[in-house]
Amino acid sequence: MAEMEIDLVEAVRRLRLAEPTVGVKSIVKQLRPTHGDAADTRAVRIALQTLETLPGAPTAAADIAADAIAADATARVGADSERLGSAESVRCWGCEAKPEAGTAFKQCERCVDEGLFPARFCSSECLQQHWPRHKQWHKEQKIRAKVRASRMAVIAPSYEKAACDAEAEGTPIGTTYATGMREMADAQYKQAAKSFRKVIDLDPSNGSAWHSLGQSLSRSGESSLAAQAYLRASELYKTGSPAWAEAVTDTFAAFTKCVHADVPRPSWWTDEGIMAISEEAIHSVSWREITDDRGMREDEDGRAQVKLLMMRSHVLSGPILLPAEQLKWEFGSRTNHDMREAAWCFGRLIKLLELTNAHGRHHPDHAGAIKYNRWQEARCRELAEGSERL
Residue range 242-249: mean pLDDT, rounded = 91
- What separation in angstroms does the CA of 367 have from each of 60, 143, 164, 355, 364? 16, 16, 33, 12, 6
Q: Work out the widest C-alpha separation in the chain, in whole angstroms.
A: 65
254-258, 266-270, 277-281, range with the lowest pLDDT: 254-258
**DSSP string of 140-188, one letter each residue:** HHHHHHHHHHHHHHHHHHHHHHHHHHHHTT-SHHHHHHHHHHHHHHTT-
18-27, 76-85, 142-151, 366-375, range with the lowest pLDDT: 76-85
CA angle 382, 39, 65 (to 5 degrees): 60
Place 58 in a pLDDT band, splitting at 50, 70 and 90.
Answer: very low
170: which residues sit within 8 A by CB, 6+ positions away? Answer: none
Whole-number percent of the chain with pLDDT over 90: 21
Check whether 220 has a pLDDT greater than 60.
yes
Of residues 252 and 7, the one with the higher pLDDT is 252
Query: What's the pLDDT at 280?
Result: 93
Task: Render pLDDT for 287-311 as a digit per residue (tens, 0 to 9).
Answer: 766 555 554 454 555 667 888 998 9
Ranges of each domain in the chain? 3-52, 65-384
Rounded CA-CA distance 165/177 in Å is: 10
| Helix extents (H) in the chain | 3-18, 24-35, 41-52, 61-68, 73-85, 109-113, 124-129, 131-167, 172-185, 189-202, 207-219, 223-236, 242-257, 271-282, 293-298, 300-321, 336-358, 364-384
| The model's pTM | 0.62
Query: What's the pLDDT at 387?
Result: 57
Rounded CA-CA distance 41/31 in Å is: 11
Check whether 201 has a pLDDT greater than 70.
yes
Q: What is the dihedral of CA 129, 130, 136, 138, to 10 degrees?
A: -110
For domain 65-384, which architecture applies? Alpha Horseshoe (1.25)
